[in-house]
Amino acid sequence: MNYPKEVEPHMTEYARKSSCVKEGWFSHIVQTYNKLVKAYPDIEIDLLKEKFGVLRFYIGNYPADENLRNHVVNIISEGEYGSSKICDVCGESGTTLVIGTHLLATRCSKHSNER
């Protein structure tokens, strides 16, 4: 599967087998991951994937403390939103757009027609 190896220590076995994102998001994923681990060292990532052109983080063990849980959810939301401005192919500035007739992807102008 394809994901940044820096996040592997906090990934479940399922996530290691199933996560698949393009390399353009790797740096952004690592930045978001570092914020999550700093806030909640016991975090377990269940899946990293693209959905509707945007990165999705799925975690399996939300903190019991409501304030910490809200903080973790905010970090994840910011990470997902941030990916909508980064080309998933190269990591440059991008826009979420429709490729062909139905594929949503976040791409820069150079990669805007790649599937």
Q: Please provide the size of the chain in residues.
A: 115
Give pLDDT tens digits for 52-87. 999 999 999 999 999 999 999 999 999 999 999 999
Would residue 99 count as lying in a domain? no
Q: How many CA atoms lie within 13 A of 106 on its CB side?
A: 27
Q: Provide the mean pLDDT of the chain.
A: 94
Would residue 105 count as lying in a domain? no
Would residue 102 count as lying in a domain? no
**84 Cβ neighbours under 8 A, 6+ residues apart:** 53, 54, 96, 106
Would residue 103 count as lying in a domain? no
Instruction: Please give the pLDDT value at position 66.
Output: 97
pTM: 0.92
Would residue 26 count as lying in a domain? yes
Counting the structural domains of the chain, the total is 1
Confidence of residue 1 (pLDDT cuts 50, 70, 90): low
| Residue ranges making up the domain that contains 40 | 5-86
**43 Cβ neighbours under 8 A, 6+ residues apart:** 10, 36, 37, 59, 61, 72
